[in-house]
Structure 1
């Protein structure tokens, strides 16, 4: 900044060195020290709070770096649209979102049913007539529009081994990105210890 280096070379390298990978079907990103790392060398991070949201993205080989600041809790869609447009102009093609079709396979609901949580959210997986559903709830209202009430229970359709997609109404599903849940790290009894969704890992609540 103003000709002065903000980070040491060691810190910069640590932020771009993968230390943990996102688990589950379709996962391509990993995490360094504060940065989300893409499979093609891109990296960045974003976040926000009530009424604000920002996103930073960079790709060193394309000499590309961009920060988008918005005064909206819904600024993520605008930020991604702008970042992806500038990536393409810089010769770096963003990855297209992969979609997974539902599969007609048998599952054992017992392996997945339960409550999975982290400090900010929880996901309740229930079973009825052999089919799983998920209801999610934010524990903290990070944005003005965040509700801490539980969502309706949406059905889950299997798309792979221990992986499911949230089944949304057709009018929404046609344009919305898929919400994928992958159950990982089985316990001794076969029940899953974690569910991975949205780049985050949620631990099964004890006793659920």
Structure 2
């Protein structure tokens, strides 16, 4: 999602998660297995809704190169991935072969048609917390970004709406069949809020 780039306070954590969950593997590696759950909540006849996606990864540290700041992780199916850990991870030297790494990433997207006269402010905010230096790596980061798009046109035949975003991007999006679409909605504003959170922990194997 492009809106995540507007969460500067969690940029480091999201880069690490991206490396673990979605980065391309080398020819000798396979993607690590993750458990994914998704849910969508909508009110009949009301535009928009809430979509939540959670991705969980559990892996074991197989090898460590402290000088190069790289670790090789293996999931329970034997898939492996080598990642580079940046200098912001001050507790990297506390990591040991055999430690278990758990990463949980959750993203919630809320979309709604702004009521006439309603005020709201676009922007982003975030927070982060990490374990004190000298302990096993552990931390949490999260933030919320909001952007408002304008309904530029509607297509009653195909039941779609064309939205224009603040950066000038224009996108045509489908509208649910249960939502009434009319030309009166042209000029109305659609609010998109994305909340992202990631929790990471490294623990000794039991």
TM-score class, shorter: under 0.3
Structure 1 length-normalised TM: 0.24
Rg larger in 1 or in 2?
A: 2
What's the TM-score once normalised by structure 2's chain length? 0.24
